[in-house]
Amino acid sequence: MNIDHTILTVLIFVPLAGAVLLALLPDKGRLMQWGALAVTLITFICTLHLPARYDYSAIAGSFQFEQNHEWINSPAIRYHLGVDGLSMWLVVLTGFLAPLGVLVSWNTIGDRKKLFYTLFLLQQVAMIGIFVSLDLFLYYAFWELSLVPMTLLIATFGRSANRRRAAIKYFLYTFIPSAILLVGMLWVYARTGTFQLPELAQLAAAHNISSNSAALWLASLAFLVAFAVKVPVFPLHGWLSDAIAEAPTAAVMVLVGKLGLYSILRFSFSIFPEQSRQIAPLMIALGAIGIVYGALIALVQKDLKQLAAYGALGHVSVVILGIFTFTIAGIDGGIYATLNEGIGAGAFFILLGILYERYGTYDMRDYGGLAAKLPWMVTLFVITTLSVIGLPMLNGFVGEFLVLTGGMQSAVTHHTRWTVLATTGVILTASYMLWMIQRVFYGDLNENTADVPVPDVTAREHLALWPLIAVMLFMGIASPYWLRAIDTAGTYLAQEPQTIEPAASVSTIVPQTQISAEQEATK
């Protein structure tokens, strides 16, 4: 049975149905854990249909596994789904991380398990919906949905009394720009009469969205600011450290980067290609500054969660630098680094969560000399650290190398000096990550943890971590397997606006005024 034209709906429906089912079942024993694990595993298996059936020779700018059905007549909203080389691997990544999140939450979530796993599955629904939506209104519905479960997860399951404050800060930081984003979307619809991304991209390439350059600029900023806050781009990262410090491990694994970075590439670059290129010098500068700033702040942290938060800021800043070079290497590297951030940061947060389970603290001053007691733990920490700092043969190296190569090739003003500054972030990242390993695992045993009897990594934790380690290695040595789909998206997005060809599956859009004129002439 061919499910190519229904698979994306299945990917949305399975976790949604799972969330509804868990909400109806009694919260007894480990029923919630097993139920959530079954739902997330089924979803992940379904995501593997995408790379297995993907046409890697398809024309750049086209979408696959499309569903396009009429939903609402006025305004013209359609149930339009599809993926390309940009979104396909992000959908697979979302499916891959979800069962690992369930595994690491198995014992840490002891109360209100039904609420936790229901919200967790709803977050997965929202993320997959964002990655596959090709109708702006449908996309916005999933975008807003993603705010609710994450806010509730932070507010309800945070680790300290500061959790509600962190949740409110996260919600306000992301909701207010989202309201401005809605205004920008409505303006685009008023000018074009469509919410369909392929049609809008074609109109943008033909300079037919609006002749009012000031209005176009304001609309492009409405999109970009909403996405930049979600990334977050320096200096719009005010919510980041509190949210990461409070969010449970399963939630923090998907909190940073992917949704905002994808949205910039998908919507800002497609609907506002000229404006995106005009603001590129500023964004490259913010990316380079964010890399160095995040690394320097991480270097002086004593709290492991704070170190991870500012490290994440540095890594998403690498992506910002890469994609705004508007080179094929830079955009390919930015997309690849987005996947790397999900894999490397996911493993790192899982390890931090395991360490916190054992000792009840994220303060590095309470650790020391754990390598002799926890050999598997230190092994997994070291491999993850080497991935994060970009050791060749591991996944982190490929993305960083492509981004820095694209930075040197770019025609954007002052690209060379900002790329040189960003390169220093490689050294600084290695510094704070290796310093963290030395403080926690080597040296003398700390009296606060020396006499605490704890087990090494358990079988369940091995099961959550080794798939991530395997993917780190596979993405490092077999990068062409991943890049053959990514490169089609990178090639398309790197083209100048006037040279972009419409996708073969998209019909030509004629402005309403031109249609009226032709009808009048016919009469």
Angle 451-454-458 from CA coordinates, rounded to 5°: 165
Give the pLDDT band of residue 133 (cuts 50, 70, 90).
very high
User: pLDDT averaged over the chain?
Assistant: 87
pTM above 0.85, yes or no: yes
Mention every residue, 6+ apart, whose C-beta is less than 8 A from residue 92.
44, 47, 48, 50, 51
Per DSSP, which regions of 10-92 are E strands?
64-72, 77-83
Residue 493 has pLDDT above 90, yes or no: no
Least confident of 179-183, 436-440, 491-495: 491-495
pLDDT, residue 159, reads 81
Are the beta carbons of 443 and 368 closer than 8 angstroms?
A: yes
DSSP string over 232-300 = TPTT--TTHHHHHHHS-HHHHTTTSSHHHHHHIIIIIHHH-HHHHHHSHHHHHHHHHHHHHHHHHHHHT
* pLDDT-above-70 percentage for the chain: 94
Give the integer Cα–Cα distance in Å for 289 and 425. Answer: 9
pLDDT, residue 46, reads 94
Please compute the mean of the pLDDT values over residues 434-440 and round it to a whole number.
90
Are the beta carbons of 7 and 49 closer than 8 angstroms?
A: yes
pLDDT tens figures, 144-190: 999 999 999 999 988 888 889 989 999 999 899 999 999 999 999 99
DSSP string over 348-403 = HHHHHHHHHHHHS--BGGG---TTTT-HHHHHHHHHHHHHHTT-TTSHHHHHHHHH
Q: How many CB atoms lie within 10 A of CB 78?
A: 18
Are the beta carbons of 66 and 505 closer than 8 angstroms?
A: yes
pLDDT tens figures, 81-116: 999 989 999 999 999 999 999 999 988 888 889 999
Give the pLDDT band of residue 472 (cuts 50, 70, 90).
very high
Give the integer Cα–Cα distance in Å for 132 and 41. Answer: 19
Give the pLDDT band of residue 402 (cuts 50, 70, 90).
very high
pLDDT tens figures, 63-78: 999 999 988 888 889 9
pLDDT, residue 519, reads 42
Give the integer Cα–Cα distance in Å for 135 and 79. Answer: 7
| Omega of the bond leading into 232 within 30 degrees of 0 (cis) | yes
In DSSP terms, 77 is beta-bridged to: 72
Identify the residue whose tokens are 């959790």.
163
pLDDT, residue 503, reads 45
Cα–Cα nearest to 128, from 52, 47, 60, 56:
47
pLDDT tens figures, 317-363: 999 999 999 999 999 999 999 999 889 989 999 999 999 888 888 88
Give the integer Cα–Cα distance in Å for 420 and 321. Answer: 12
pLDDT, residue 456, reads 85
Q: How many CB atoms lie within 10 A of CB 368?
A: 20
Give the integer Cα–Cα distance in Å for 270 and 132. Answer: 15
pLDDT, residue 413, reads 77
pLDDT, residue 504, reads 41
Mention every residue, 6+ apart, whose C-beta is less than 8 A from residue 498.
205, 207
Give the integer Cα–Cα distance in Å for 280 and 267. Answer: 15
Cα–Cα nearest to 206, from 271, 265, 137:
271
pLDDT tens figures, 190-246: 999 899 999 998 888 888 888 888 999 999 999 999 999 999 998 988 888 888 888
Encoded tokens for 335 = 């997309």
Please compute the mean of the pLDDT values over residues 438-467 and round it to a whole number.
84
DSSP state of 497: G
In DSSP terms, 80 is beta-bridged to: 68
Please compute the mean of the pLDDT values over residues 478-497 and round it to a whole number.
86
Give the integer Cα–Cα distance in Å for 355 and 380. Answer: 12
pLDDT, residue 90, reads 94
Residue 369 has pLDDT above 90, yes or no: no
